Amino acid sequence: MGESERPGITRRSAVVGAGAAAVVLGLGGFRFLPTEPTLRPPGGQATDQVVSACIRCEKCYEICPREVIVPSHIEAGILNMRTPTLDFSGDYCDWCGEANNGDPLCDKVCPTLALRLPEGASAKNTIIGVAELYTTWCLAYKLIGCRFCYDACPYEAMELDGNNRPYVLNDRCNGCGACESVCVSLQSGSIAEGADERAIIVRPLRQDGSVLYRWKPS
């Protein structure tokens, strides 16, 4: 789908966008922009691009075949509220590999180019985020033998140490969320003391620039 063929903005979308903009202006605008980046779908790694262009139309949530795109909440900051973020609690982002041959539908359906992908971007050369593994909560580090995250990783971005415990290879991880989606550390009977998240979580990259793509050599 070319840019000229992108879906138009419906009246409902325009009303939602206008309402969100009114809230932002009424609360002081950009001073509420969070200091930490937000985990975004493919094409949304430039925070300024998403915040300025997104009209909260919800088209990306609705079209996501794996239902991992969800609205950001107030905790992410006023400007980010109801912009798209990712939730890997039940599935992961495969760049619509099964649904659209690796061409993200969220980018195609976005009427304002808020999720526009750079030319040549793919799941192999674009980083959504990086998985962080918390060893104090991980069942494998309690020598229980769990390795669901390692088995689920589609990019060989995890390895096992001498004790058969998984760890993340940061230079290979693209933040797809497959590891997080299968982690069982919060299931009944296996919750570590003090744990309030799964033992492996995808975090957005922390860096100075607004564009968070890191191109890998082929």
Nearest Cα to 104, choosing from 89, 112, 116?
A: 116
Pair (88, 36) in one structural domain: yes
Q: Are residues 91 and 152 in the same domain?
A: no
Q: What is the mean pLDDT of residues 176-190?
A: 89
Domain boundary residue among 51, 79, 109? Answer: 109
| Statement to judge: residues 100 and 134 lie in one domain | no
**What's the sign of the alpha-carbon dihedral 159, 165, 171, 173?**
positive
| 69, 139: one domain | no
Separation in Å, CA 97 to CA 18, 41, 55, 188, 199 = 34, 14, 26, 32, 26
Residue 217: inside a domain: no
- Asked whether residue 76 is domain-assigned, the answer is yes
C-alpha closest to that of 153 among 214, 76, 94: 94
- Residue 111: predicted pLDDT: 96
In angstroms, the CA 107 to CA 7 distance is 11
- Domain identity same for 49 and 101: yes
pLDDT of 71 reads 95
How confident is the prediction for the chain on average, in pLDDT? 81
Last residue of a domain, one of 78, 109, 140: 109
Count up the domains in the chain and report the number: 2
Q: Show Cβ contacts of residue 25 under 8 Å, excluding neighbours closer than 6 positions.
A: none
- Amino acid 71 reads P
The secondary element (H helix, E strand) that includes residue 180 is helix 178-182
Question: Do 104 and 139 belong to one domain?
Answer: no
Question: 22 and 72: one domain?
Answer: yes
Does 179 reside within a domain? yes
For 78-125, what is each residue's pLDDT tens digit?
A: 888 899 999 999 999 999 999 999 999 999 999 999 999 999 999 989
pLDDT tens digits, 142-151: 888 899 999 9
Pair (77, 140) in one structural domain:
no
117 is a domain residue:
no
Q: Does any domain span residue 187?
A: yes
In a domain, 3, yes or no: no
Which domain CATH number covers 140?
3.30.70.20
**140 domain-assigned:** yes
Q: Does position 67 have pLDDT exceeding 80, yes or no?
A: yes
Q: What range defines the domain where residue 141 resides? A: 130-203
- CA–CA separation, 102 and 64 (whole Å): 13
Same domain membership, residue 152 and residue 99: no
Residue 2 pLDDT > 60? no
